[in-house]
Amino acid sequence: KLLSYLLHHKGKVVSRTELIEHIYDQDFDRDSNTIEVFVTRIRKKLGQDVITTIRGLGYSLEDPDA
């Protein structure tokens, strides 16, 4: 779901809060590092440069062909 959401918003910065609100239900522990774990797993499979961390803002899925 995380990768799908980032693909839908490719090139835009998506905050951690926005990801949590759109991917998980309201009972999700917002202090959990689940988002970070999934981002790390995606990077291991697709490459480090695919998802960029914008410090203090969120994540951005980059076009690998750009």
- pTM of the full structure: 0.79
Across-strand partners of 52?
A: 60
3-state helix, strand, coil in the chain (%, to 5): 40, 15, 45
48: its two tokens: 């480090």
- Longest Cα–Cα distance in the chain: 38
Q: Where are the domains positioned within the chain?
A: 2-61
Class of the 2-61 domain?
A: mainly alpha
Digit-by-digit pLDDT tens for the chain (66 residues) are: 899 999 999 999 999 989 988 887 777 776 778 889 999 999 999 989 899 999 999 999 987 665
Task: Decide: 42 and 51 in contact? Cβ < 8 Å.
Answer: yes
